Structure 1
């Protein structure tokens, strides 16, 4: 992949993430300009989205753990919540295709990705090592806990552009 195509792929993927976050219908936006030219098929796009989720989740876990929490599992759950707030449409897409994969190849790829995510959750929560046989099950329980306790962040209200600082203060004061 050339430098130019790498950047184009990243740009298209950012557009896809923005679209799924706006739509929140759980469907892959294969209709967006450049998607079918950039990604081989639905599985290719879904794999890129899965990687985006995993990368963001891993980064959030690292951030939570950097604060040296006393409860590692709680930090991992908070990281999962933060990632779900950051990428709500992407989470909806992953959940939909985990539940209803379009074919066996997609089901297998998503199952492997979920296993790796569960391993990461368990290990980062201090509940085992990657070689532990029960780590996947423990990570699954951590994900279930995160989902059960999840309360989506309040939607951001677009107040429109402000003409200046005074207008911003007026709008804040009037909203109170």
Structure 2
């Protein structure tokens, strides 16, 4: 991928993210300018949004663990909620497509991709909460990760449409993020 293509893809993805955050209906905005030319199809866009969510969630969990290292479960739950606050439209897209009922052209393949991504995410939640040690998805870790996710969802209220919750970021948080990059 060329430099220009990489940056164009990032620009289109930012536009897509802003649009799904505005719409929050869980649909993939394939009608936006540049989407059809940048992504190979709905499944490619869905996988890209899943990766963006996963990356943001993992980074947020790491920050929360730095702030509350003694209560790992709460750090993971708080990080999930904060990420959902920052990306409510992306979360809506992922939730809509989780069972294959979304608008991706190949629902079976989309359901499979989402099932694998969900398994990996739940295992990551369990590992980062210190409840399991294996990073490979396994039933015990899946169960714990699902419990943590359910706990996060139960206490999360979606921000008002068209708005994101403002999350205060301290100078130290910005410095940590810069050093991590």
Tell me the TM-score normalised to structure 1 length. 0.84
**Aligned partners of 2:88 and 2:159 also within 8 Å:** no
Unaligned runs of 5+ in 2: 165-181
Q: CA separation in 2, counterparts of 1:152 and 1:24?
A: 10
- The match for 2:83 is 83
CA RMSD in angstroms, aligned pairs only: 1.6
- Give the equivalent residue in structure 2 for 1:149: 155
- Give the stretch that moved more between structures: 5-14 or 65-74: 65-74
- What's 2:130 paired with? 126
Residues 1:31 and 1:153: Cα distance change in structure 2 (over 3 Å): closer
Say yes or no: does 1:38 pair with 2:6: no
> How many equivalent residue pairs?
157
Match of 1:105 among 66, 85, 109: 109
Q: CA deviation at 1:118?
A: 0.3
Q: Deviations over 1:66-107 (max 9, x none)?
A: 124321000000000000000001100100011314421111
Q: Distance between the aligned counterparts of 1:94 and 1:133, measured in 2? A: 22
Name 1:136's counterpart in structure 2: 142
Distance apart, 1:153 and its partner CA: 4.1
> What is the SS of the residue equivalent to 2:5?
helix
The whole-number CA distance in structure 1 between the counterparts of 2:94 and 2:31 is 18
SS at match of 1:74: helix
Q: Contact 2:68/2:75 (CA < 8 Å) preserved in 1? A: no
SS at match of 1:6: helix
Structure 1 residue runs of 5 or longer lacking an equivalent are 158-176
Taking CA–CA contacts closer than 8 Å with sequence separation of 6 or more, which of the two structures ends up with the larger relative contact order?
A: 2
CA distance in 1, matches of 2:13, 2:149: 25
Query: In the alignment, is the contact (CA less than 8 A) between 2:28 and 2:93 conserved in 1?
Result: yes
Give SS of 1:141's match. helix
Q: How does 1:14-93 map to 2 (within 5 A)?
A: 14-93=14-93
Larger Rg: 1
1:157-176 equivalences in 2 (<5 Å): none
Deviation by residue 1:99-146 (Cα, 9 ceiling, x = unmatched)? 314421111111000001001100000110125641111101111111
